Amino acid sequence: MENFNHVPVLLKECLDGLNIKPDGVYVDGTLGGAGHSKEIAKKIAKQGLLLGIDRDEEAICVAKERLKEYTNVKFAHENHDHIKQILAELEIPAVDGILLDLGVSSYQLDERNRGFSYMADSQLDMRMDTSSGITAKDVVNTYSEEQLANIIYEYGEEKFSRRIAKNICEYRKTKPIQTTLELVALIEKSVPRKKGEGHPAKRTFQAIRIEVNDEIKPLYDTILASIDVLKPQGRLCVITFHSLEDRAVKNAFLQAEGKCTCPPDLPYCRCGYHSLGKIITKKPILPTEEERNQNTRSKSAKLRIFEKL
């Protein structure tokens, strides 16, 4: 449990953004080490409710221990993409606020046997939910060269994606790629390393992790589903860490807000557009310089907030 250290990113901004009511019902869809959840729990009364969702069973166990003093907390070992089904099963018709802190947790990166980190040797896994799904080993050993190149380029924004994919496929003709450091060596062979740049494996590991956990494809629909289960004036706060996530969230917010397409000189609306609410953050909220210095994980974080009508 000591290893599950997670400094919550944009904590004050999220708490302010949720506009917490003492008797409200709130969802932390990415429970992790319960950093955000604990502060939410402090702000709600006994008649309120906090639901913590995470697909990592270890995160659920840690969060239960850290939140054991609070009696108004429920837990779900599930994926936040299924938020409608989760709430229906718990007979919760609507909620006052939802928080999604996307991406991989600090614990998962630091836990050597999970395969998320390119800095330690372990089996290639990268699953957030270790009970199901494909592993990183499956991806690098069974995907075609074209599939690998496309994933690494799209999800990792890696300009040497084709060279990396080619070297992976050449290597696995001899033996399967089993460990993180085997993969790192292939990436280092493929990517010229320049002074001052980050680790050459960072973008490829990110891309494979996103593919393994299907982090991007359902996100747009998840945002719309989350807005749908909010009560009137309920709020959705979403923290993203890279451009693909942020783009999906931004586009879903714009879709939910809607836009009148009538000519500007028309005295009344005739297009019949429907709005689900309003975007509170016309530009994303970024961490302060102090937070970026204190918590390196926060450097690329962006917070967007939506309020239901």
Q: What is the pLDDT of residues 107-140, one digit of tens each?
A: 666 666 789 999 989 999 999 999 889 999 999 9
Overall average pLDDT of the 213-227 stretch: 97
pLDDT above 70: residue 71:
yes
CA 184 to chain centre: 24
Q: What are 183-211's pLDDT values in tens digits?
A: 999 999 999 988 778 899 999 999 999 99
Asked if residue 269 has pLDDT above 50, the reply is yes
Using CB atoms within 10 Å of the CB of residue 104, give its burial: 0 to 12 exposed, 13 to 18 middle, 19+ buried: buried
What confidence category does residue 1 fall into, taking pLDDT thresholds of 50, 70 and 90? very low
Whether the Cβ atoms of residue 235 and residue 18 lie closer than 8 Å to each other:
yes
Position 176 confidence tier, pLDDT thresholds 50, 70, 90: very high
Q: How confident is the model at residue 293 (pLDDT cuts 50, 70, 90)?
A: very high
Q: Please tell me the CATH code under which domain 11-103+216-308 is placed.
A: 3.40.50.150
pLDDT mean across residues, the chain: 94
Percent of the chain with pLDDT over 70: 96
Q: Mean pLDDT across the stretch 47-67?
A: 95
pLDDT score of 106 more than 60 = yes
Is residue 215 pLDDT above 50, yes or no?
yes
* Residue 121 to residue 124: CA distance in whole angstroms: 9
pLDDT of amino acid 110: 64
Give 6 or 232, the one with higher predicted confidence. 232
| Residue 96 vs residue 103, higher pLDDT | 96
pLDDT of 111: 67
pLDDT bin (cut points 50, 70, 90) of residue 261 is confident
Q: What is the mean pLDDT of residues 71-87?
A: 97
The reply to whether 11-103+216-308 and 121-213 are identical in fold is no
Domain boundaries, the chain: 11-103+216-308, 121-213
pLDDT at 254 over 60: yes
Domain 121-213 has CATH 3.20.20.100: no
Res. 252: pLDDT tops 80: yes
Helix (H, G, I), strand (E, B) or coil at 152: helix
Q: Give the C-alpha distances (Å, rounded to integers) separating 240 from 182, 235, 251.
A: 29, 16, 13
Per-residue model confidence (pLDDT) at position 264: 85
From the list 294, 225, 224, 209, the residue with the least C-alpha distance to 256 is 224
Whole-number Cα distances in Å, 51 to 55, 103, 205: 13, 19, 31
